[in-house]
Every structure is written in structure tokens, then in C-alpha cells.
Chain A
Amino acid sequence: MTVRILLCILILCCAGTGRVQAADYPSVRVAEPYLDLRTGPGRGYPVTQIVERGDWVEVMLRRTDWIKVRTEKGFEGWAHQNAMAQTLDPDGQPTEIPTVGEGDFVHRRWETGFKIGTFAGARTSDAYLGYYFTSNLSIEATLGEAFGSTVDFQFLNLSLTHQPWPQWRYSPYLTLGGGAKTTRYGDTEVQLSDRTDQTVHAGLGIRIYLTRQLMARGEYRNTVILTDQEQNEESDEWTIGLSAFF
């Protein structure tokens, strides 16, 4: 029954998704001797058509690095963005195909990603969102969970990070911040109730530009948990992660 309901919802969802508007695509003119068209958006798909110099193609849509075009004869195929960048727009200028590269890494505004690692011996995973005020300074919000053999943690924190050399491909940074952490004790312990504590942390990390909009990230954090007990707890967190920037 539930399967049937789900199918109905799916069909309903999809009914409205067809490209309804009449195709009114922009056109570009081939300037190189020919333009290869493949059957799909990838180097593994075969070239089945070429467009001659001087012929126009309509630009339909783009998926990752590939652009779907329609020829004057109505044949549809996929051309690589680098090949499309060598076509001419209606003004006779080289077509501008926006791409993201290392230059944008230096001037990024937003950054989001996820990290996995260890936190006080527990396995941790978190997701974060960061915003850059300047190319050096950013603020980050992190939401995560860690699961140990007897305790589980959930945490939310804000940090200020500073990278002294934003133009470096391997860019180290410092981080400083605070937040809250909820500790849940498993059934096996002497029954302790859940508690939420404030935390402050300081850490050191590195961002590594990979390709396009992607970077890798490694971080060490020392977190101090401000408990009600006589002594505060301290724990180390090591994480590695993958992020995208915008």
C-alpha cells in the first residue's frame, strides 16, 4: 500500500517537472573547423555528429562541464565547455562560459562541507557552513555528532578562523570559538542523565585547494568542556573533510 502511495506521489511530483516553456535558446556560431557532439555529458560517450564552421547551434543546458546543444538540423548532442568557449556569440565575440578555478578559491565568500574524525576517542562526523568577511577572516557554524562506546555527543559551535596566506594552495589557518555540547550516556553505564555543557575551543588546520569548487581540509582542535564539576574536561579532536566553496 505504502509503495503505491509513494509511487503516486512520485508521479504527481514528476508531472509538473517537464520543460514546458517553448525552447527559446540562445545560439552560438562554430568558429573552429568543427565542433564534436557526443551522445552524453562525458568523455566516455561517443562522438556521433560534428558541426561545421559557420553553423549555428542552440545552447540548451549545461551539466557539469558539458553543454547540450541543438544543431540547425535539429540534432541534439553534448559539447565540452572548452570547445564551446571557442565558438562565437551573436556579437561575433568568443562565447563566455563561466568556469570555477583556483583564482576563485582565493576570493571565495561561502564555504560548506563535512568532516569526519575522532573526538575524545569517539567517532565524529560534522557539517559546517562558513562565511568570509575578508579573504583572511571567516566565521563558521558547525553541527556534529560523535559516537563512543558508552557516550554519544552532539555539538554546535561557532568559530572565527584566520588564514594568513589565502593565496596559497595549501593554506593553513587558526580557529577559535565556542559552543554547546550535549552528552548522552548509553544504557550500559550507571544511569546518568543527559547534560549540556558550554565549550570553548582553539585549533589549527589546513585547507588544500583540489579542483574546481573543491577543497580538502584537515584540522586539530582542543576543546575545553566547561562542566559543573571541579575540573573542566579537555578533549582532542582530529578531523579530515571535504568542502565546496562558492
Chain B
Amino acid sequence: MDNRFIRVFLSTLALALLTTTGARAEESGADTALQEPPVIDPKVVRLGLKESEIDDENFELGLFAGYMSVEHFGTHEVYGVRAAWHVNEDLFFEANYGQATVGDTPAEYVSGEIQLTTDDNRDFVYYNLTMGFNVLPGEAFVTSDWAFNTNIYLLAGGGTVDFFGDKEFALNLGMGLRMILTDSLAIHATFQDIMTDKLQELSDGDDGSAHNMQYTASLTYFF
């Protein structure tokens, strides 16, 4: 009887000891972690927003095509590239390069014989740096719940025109409509007047400036 009692007592004790030591082992493990925190935990990952994680899309690059009315020469196709940097919601800077090839002057056309200049000089090439002002932001609704952001902007700048064997300074003024299709694509409809001095060869005796009007459509990519 005693033996049986001792055996039960001992086994209970053993069991109790085993479970408690096990539990204490676990506890002591947790204790050491609590009592001795590392000075710097190398595994801590800073989740904060990094500058590089926000995708800046302030530059715009694109191609344009349209028609240009070159004074004395009629209207011709014009092509070019444009690049813009958007400073803030109101202001942007733009660089343009465009080219139109014109035909004969009226005098050449009438006579059929004379050549006032070489064919190379019949390319109306211009480049300019322009300031743009977004003046009328808005939205164009295709359906009642599907809309594109738009902006009407004004343009003013200066640059160079290389035409008829002469390079000269040209002022440009214009306005346009930008429609943002996606986060990175936009289309524009732009009207610009590129003002030069009148060509001496074709002048009608008046010293005023020549207005070369162009209207173009462009597709641009924001990045």
C-alpha cells in the first residue's frame, strides 16, 4: 500500500516537475528577451515612405503634326517634337522643334522659270523655348461618369526660325488644349503664331512682321 502510494506520489511529482520546468524554460526564454533587448535591432525595417517610391511625372515629351500657314507660301504640313517641364499646376516650360516644307513663292509660281532660292531653303525650320500658363482647368465628360481632365493653356516664347537662307529671332504666341488620357498619356490641340520679320525678297514694301500660324495635334508622354 505504502509502495503504491509512494509510486503514485513520485510519478505525480515527476510529472509536475517536468511540466513546470518545461513551462519555466519557456518563460525564462521570454524573460531573457524582455530583460535584454538588443540596443539596435538590425531586423527593424523602416516602412516609411521613401522619396524614390513616389513616381514624379513632371516631364512631358511628344510629337506633333499639323498645318502651318507660312506667310507668302500657303499652308503646308508641319511636324515636330515638343518637350515640357511642369513646374507647378499653373506654369510649365516647353521646348519645340518643328519643320514645314513650303513650295514656290507666288512669283516663282506665276513665272514658272525663276528660282528665288534653293530647295534646301524651302524648309521652314524653327525651334523655341516657351513658357506655358495653365489657365482653364476642366473636365471633358465622354459619358456622365467617364471624364478626362483637360486644361487650356497660353503659350509665349522666343526662338529661332531658319528659312529662305536666313536665320532670325522669332517670337511665338499661342494657346492650346491638353487632354489627359491616362496617367502618362495626353493629347493636345495647339494653335501658335510664330512671328518673324517679313522676308525682304518677298516684302510688299511694308516693314511689319510675318505671322506664320500653325495648328497642330500632339501626343505626349508624361514621365
Chain A residues at the B interface, C-beta cutoff of 8 Å:
2-3, 6, 9-10, 13-14, 17-19, 25-26, 28, 39-45, 59-68, 89-91, 93, 95-98, 114, 116, 123-125, 127, 145, 147, 152, 186-188, 211-214, 242, 244
A131–B70 alpha-carbon span in the complex (Å)? 41
Q: Which stretch in B4-12, B23-31, B157-165 binds the other chain?
A: B157-165
Stretch at the interface among B13-21, B103-111, B180-188: B180-188
The residue of chain B having its C-beta at the shortest distance from the C-beta of A76 within the complex is B183
Which residues of B have CB within 8 Å of A3?
65, 77
Q: Cβ of B122 < 8 Å from any Cβ of A?
A: no
Contact A145/B167 with A45-B149, A63-B57, A127-B129 known, Cβ cut-off 8 Å = yes
User: Which residue of the partner chain, among B89, B129, B147, contacts A66 with CB atoms under 8 Å?
Assistant: B89
* Chain A residues near B167 (CB-CB < 8 A): 145, 147, 152
Docked-complex contact A186 and B166, CB < 8 angstroms: yes
Are A9 and B63 also in contact (CB < 8 A) when A19-B183, A28-B49, A96-B51 are? yes
Tally the A-B contacts, defined by beta carbons under 8 Å.
125
Tally of chain B residues near chain A (CB < 8 A): 49
**Which B residues touch A211, using CB under 8 A?**
88
Q: B53 — nearest CB in chain A belongs to which residue?
A: A26
Interface string of B53-79 (1 = CB under 8 A from A): 111111000010100000000000101
Query: Is B48 close to A, CB under 8 A?
Result: yes
Shortest beta-carbon distance, A196 to chain B, in Å?
16
Contacts of A97 in B (CB 8 A): 54
Are the CB atoms of A123 and B169 closer together than 8 Å?
yes
- Is B137 part of the contact surface with A, judged by Cβ < 8 Å? yes
**Pairwise interchain contact A65-B48, C-beta atoms closer than 8 A:** no
Contact string, B193-213, partner A, CB cutoff 8 A, digits 1/0? 000000010000000000000
- In the bound complex, residues from chain A placing their C-beta under 8 Å from that of B192 are none
Question: Given A14-B219, A67-B54, A98-B51, 19 other A-B contacts at CB below 8 A?
Answer: A13-B63, A13-B221, A14-B221, A28-B49, A39-B149, A45-B137, A61-B54, A61-B55, A64-B87, A64-B88, A68-B183, A93-B48, A95-B49, A96-B48, A96-B49, A116-B158, A147-B168, A212-B87, A213-B87
Smallest Cβ-Cβ distance to B48: which chain A residue: A89
9 CB contacts below 8 A, A to B, read: A14-B221, A40-B149, A42-B137, A61-B54, A64-B88, A91-B46, A91-B48, A214-B87, A244-B93
The answer on a CB contact under 8 Å between A59 and B49 is yes
- Main SS at interface, chain B: strand
Give B212 Cβ to nearest chain A Cβ, in Å: 16
In the assembled complex, the CB of A192 is this many whole angstroms from the nearest CB of chain B, namely: 16
Are A6 and B89 in contact, with the CB atoms below 8 A?
Answer: no
Check B137 against A44 for contact (C-beta < 8 Å).
Answer: yes
Chain B residue nearest to A93 in the complex (CB): B48
A60 with B185, Cβ < 8 A, contacts A14-B221, A123-B169, A147-B167 known: no
Contact B48 A2 (CB under 8 A): no
CB distance from A11 to the nearest CB of B (A): 9
Instruction: Report the Cα distance A6→B77, complex, angstroms.
Output: 12
Q: How far is the CA of A72 from the CA of B208 in the complex (A)?
A: 61
- Whether A39 contacts B165 in the complex (CB less than 8 A), given A10-B63, A45-B149, comes out as no
Which B residues lie within 8 Å of A125 (CB)?
Answer: 129, 158-160, 169
Report Cα–Cα, A90/B158, bound state, in Å: 48
Instruction: Name the residue on A nearest B47 (C-beta).
Output: A90
CB-CB under 8 A from B119, the residues of chain A are none
Q: How far is the CB of B124 from chain A (nearest CB, A)?
A: 16
A223 to chain B, nearest CB (A): 18
Look across to chain B and name the residue whose beta carbon is closest to the beta carbon of A241.
B129
Chain B residues within an 8 Å CB radius of A43: 89
Nearest-Cβ distance from residue B26 to partner chain A, whole angstroms: 31
Closest 9 CB pairs of A and B: A90-B47, A44-B137, A123-B169, A40-B149, A89-B48, A42-B89, A61-B55, A42-B137, A147-B168
